[in-house]
Amino acid sequence: MSYSEFTPKDYEVIEREFADLKEAARKRCRQESEMDFIQRAFEFANEAHKNVRRRSGEPYMLHPIAVAKIVVSDIGLGYKSISAALLHDVVEDTEYTVDDIRRFFGDKVASLVDGLTKIKNVLDSHDKDRNSADFAKSMQAENFKRILLTMNDDVRVVLIKLADRLHNCRTIEYMPEYKRDKILSETMFIFIPLAHRLGLYEVKSEMENIWLRYKEPDAYNEISQKINRNISDRAKDIDEFIKPIEETLTAGGFDFSVRKRVKTPYSIWRKMQTKNIPFEQVYDLYAIRIIFTPDANSKDTERDQCYHVFSRITGIYRYKPDRVRDWVVQPKSNGYEALHCTLQSKKGIWIEVQIRTRRMDDIAEKGIAAHWAYKREGYVGENDSEMEKWLNKIKEILVSPDINALELLDIIHNDLTTYDIVIFTPKGEQKSIQKGATALDFAYQIHSKIGEKAIAAKVNMKLVPLSATIHSGDTVEIITAGTGEPKEEWLSFLQTRHAKNKVLDFFRKDYENIVAAAREKLDKELALTGRKYREHIAGKVAAEMGFNNAGEMLFRYGLGMIRLEDIDKYSVDSQTTVEIDRKKIDRNSLVIGSKNDTHKYVIASCCKPIPGDPIVGFLAPDGTITVHKKTCVEAESLAARHGDWIVLPKWDTDSLTQDFLIRISIRGVDRLGILNEITNYISVSLGVNIKRLNLGTEQGIFDGYIDVLVRDKSVLEDMIAHLKEVNGVQTVQRTDIV
């Protein structure tokens, strides 16, 4: 922030933007007194932020106004939340206190502003706590836990924070790059999954696209250009596809509207990454949304009426039975309800069709706020407890007394990114459990005593071990024995936090013996590499790993939940390691391969970046810099936790002498001599060393991968471009080596 006298033009811009906010707020506020309340909040904040400017040079007040617009227009919150959004930076950035806010605007607005201020303080603490151990301790000081407890007090704090984060992402170009990476990583690690779980689709999608635009600019631009070309080519076809749908629904007497939607660049990029496919094979690029008002006089339920729409449109178009998704009878955990199907147009294009009532559409767009609004109006659907169930689950985690802050962050993130599946008991009762759960997780979900006594399970009438993963639609029966009890190896395959904690609780009665045996075992393992167990080092490592003390680390080590390799990632030997001062490091002057740069660089094994990839580095206490791709999941987690570790190294391709191992996956139509042509081009024409080749042929199609050593990304891109021109080759792309 900077300070300079506002000009008449500045005041004019502020008034114009606030006028736009008032217009949006009028649609949401029921009484003139509510508009007056918002006016007072604006005047208070405007005076408090007078002559203050953002990095962009614009008046700072434009930021809280923009956040308030998102709060009302994209999230659908009311006048108190709009006012809190206008005031959300006053306590942090000016002389005013929470008590001042309370005196002028009441307890609720003061509580919201207080919660928002605390969230900002903790997120910003990444930059203040330079020492890694100090950082871990500060996180363990329960600040972060208290912040997340605002979800327990009032979820609106988190909703307003999401609006604040979205606007910061929109203006992120004005941030220095290291700060930008920290913000984007926090956004991907915490705020995007949070927006998803709270049903804020538009907020989530915009954040994802901004993330991709800055993390992988080349990919973002290329996909955006292909989308625009594709839309231009297909616009007429989509309109022709919609016309018969409109005619049949009109004939059926439905009150409806149809909207067109194209997949976002991020969702396409993500699908390309996870499925290892090129843009051309993302078939569900288009979707149309049918939104209708249910017939209030009909005896049919909303779900039945959705199926009436489905019946009419599948009467004119072929559909894929395996692509029907019924989220009306079983909504997603974020409250999303809709009936999805994929239809084939007359031109042969597969198009996803989403069928929703207007209530479902409101909840899909504005999430939890719309859900609350319908409840206040007396609408109670059979499925409307899904969101409350998830919120109650999170609140239960938040108030747990034995979870430290770093562990809490992991738990919250995992809960946000985990999806539930539906399974059945032998009596046909429907149950939900997280995706990836085992039969034993399910046993503990039924009751802790059943979990403890479990010895095996039957899945779909077939006997399976307790470690078997269960899948959506399975019927699961747990077999118990009176003498059964938990075993240490269970901790190696259990997936749910609840089940793991129950097993840990069982062994905690023998805590002292387990810790003592673990200490002895760790001593022996360290001795093999010439090291010793030191209490002060163990405490520091435990703090880095997110444990309250060394005893808890040893307890889990003794039970096999963590290994020596896990401890070594955080281990700091006081006799050989010098704590560097990160304040003195120029984050932007680091060059990989330069003779003048004395830092030790390690290429991260999780993502294996090569010269030309957008990269981010993490500076260890001893000066070692680990280099990741900017889009690496591990890097996102590190940056979200340790923002002060981020550095921005660059490749010195002229000085680098090493080659980098990468994998290209290739697929096409088999023909005589094609393999020889491919390998000859790589080895002879390009002079690239092939390290491994794994290609197979089945029913005339060849498929597989080639591992090669390349100098940089330009060589890789040149290779891919030329291989695509080989007769018979259909797809070529870089994939991860696992």
Which amino acids are annotated catalytic?
Answer: 92-93
Tokens of 241: 């596809």
Number of neighbouring beta carbons within 10 Å of residue 206: 20
Q: Which amino acid is at 292?
A: F
Classify 148 as helix, strand or coil. Answer: helix
550-558 and 511-527 are packed helices; what angle lies between their axes, rounded to 10 degrees? Answer: 80
Residue 214 to residue 175: CA distance in whole angstroms:
12
Cα torsion through 274, 277, 280, 282, rounded to 10? -30
In terms of DSSP bridges, do strands 350-357 and 339-344 run parallel, antiparallel, or are they unpaired? antiparallel
Positive or negative CA dihedral for 290, 294, 298, 301?
A: positive
Q: Which residue blocks in 276-427 are alpha helix, DSSP H?
A: 302-313, 358-366, 368-376, 386-398, 405-417
What are the residues facing 667 on neighbouring strands?
703, 731
Q: Which amino acid is at 627?
A: V
Tokens of 378: 């007396």
Classify 132 as helix, strand or coil. Answer: helix
Number of neighbouring beta carbons within 10 Å of residue 378: 6
Residue 512 to residue 518: CA distance in whole angstroms:
10
Residue 619 to residue 617: CA distance in whole angstroms:
6
Residue 492 to residue 249: CA distance in whole angstroms:
54
Residue 606 to residue 629: CA distance in whole angstroms:
9
Residue 173 to residue 170: CA distance in whole angstroms:
8
What are the residues facing 710 on neighbouring strands?
660
H-helix or E-strand spanning residue 232: helix 217-251
H-helix or E-strand spanning residue 299: none
Which of these, 410, 293, 426, 262, lies nearest to 355 by C-alpha position?
293
Q: Which amino acid is at 237?
A: D
Residue 424 to residue 408: CA distance in whole angstroms:
30
CA neighbours closer than 13 Å in the CB half-sphere of residue 723? 28
Distance of CA 354 to CAs 26, 305, 360, Å?
Answer: 31, 14, 11
Q: Is 528 exposed, middle or buried (0-12, 13-18, 19+ CB in 10 A)?
A: exposed
Token pair 């938990």 in the structure block, residue: 486
Q: Which amino acid is at 144?
A: F
Tokens of 143: 């600040």
Which of these, 46, 47, 48, 41, lies nearest to 25 by C-alpha position?
41
Token pair 């699908």 in the structure block, residue: 271
Give the gyration radius of the chain's Cα atoms: 28
Distance of CA 317 to CAs 233, 310, 349, 351, Å?
Answer: 21, 10, 11, 10
Q: Which residues contact 477 (CB under 8 A, 6 or more apart)?
A: 425, 426, 457, 458, 459
Tokens of 263: 């997949």
Number of neighbouring beta carbons within 10 Å of residue 513: 11
